[in-house]
Chain A
Amino acid sequence: EVQLLESGGGLVQPGGSLRLSCAASGFTFSTYAMSWVRQAPGKGLKWVLSISSNGESTYLVDSVKGRFTISRDNSKNTLYLQMNSLRAEDTAVYYCTKSYGMDAWGQGTTVTVSS
């Protein structure tokens, strides 16, 4: 069974940093692209970043360029999201998803940016 388990969310002040992790199991992690999708409170889904299976290519939405970084450790079956210079508008549930067709989703981890 495919499982994605996010962690690392929490309350952070504007301008602060957080690192999210997504532990994957039940599939060959190193052969799939992975993505982060977020959902602000009461809002719809928004794609944020993707990374290729070998980690060599990354893709980001403009609003997080220069602030967020996606990476992966295929030896640990883990996906990461480093978030710096956080803003109030980054407040959301962050989901880890498998493949570009997003055929599996984690349960999400909540990031709240507030003073």
Chain B
Amino acid sequence: EIVLTQSPDFQSVTPKEKVTITCRASQSVGTSLHWYQQKPDQSPKLLIKYASQSFSGVPSRFSGSGSGTEFTLTINSLEGEDAATYYCHQSSTLPYTFGQGTKLEIK
């Protein structure tokens, strides 16, 4: 099973700050790595697919990069509505797996 490890687990940030979340895979997933945002009491929503492809309707401040075993989700100029838990997910190898999540708190 491919283990996805996100860092940090938690981050408290101020509006307009730039945030970087890292997802490391225990073995290569190519670019089959996706990022989701989940706000409290809501379903997850896709932000970035296949490592760097922005999903339709997602604000341009969200971007993704990486390949192989190391990936990054970047949020430029954080807004208050970005308070949420963020998950990475790999669809390269069965069983598909998720990272443990990164919770962003807005100060």
State the A residues within 8 Å of B (CB): 35, 44-47, 50, 59, 61-62, 95, 100-108
- Asked if A45 contacts B95 (CB within 8 A), the reply is no
- Return B84 CB to nearest CB of chain A, in Å: 13
**Interchain CB contact (< 8 A) of A95 among B44, B96, B97:** B44
Bound CA–CA A46/B36 (angstroms): 13
Judging by beta carbons under 8 Å apart, are B43 and A47 in contact? Answer: no
- Cβ-based interface call for B50 (8 A): yes
**Bound-complex Cα distance A106 to B43 (A):** 7
Chain B residues with Cβ below 8 Å from A95 are 43-44
Top 9 closest pairs, chain A to chain B, by CB: A47-B96, A105-B43, A100-B91, A45-B98, A101-B49, A44-B101, A103-B46, A61-B95, A101-B34
| Chain A hits for B89, CB < 8 A | 45, 47, 102
Report the Cα distance A50→B95, complex, angstroms. Answer: 10
In this complex, what residue of A is CB-closest to B53?
Answer: A101
Contacts of A50 in B (CB 8 A): 96
- Residue from B43, B49, B55, B100 whose CB has the most chain A CB atoms within 10 Å: B43
Alpha-carbon separation in the docked complex, A44 to B97 (Å): 11
Cβ-closest chain B residue relative to A35: B96
Tell me, in angstroms, the Cα distance from A65 to B46 when the chains sit together: 27
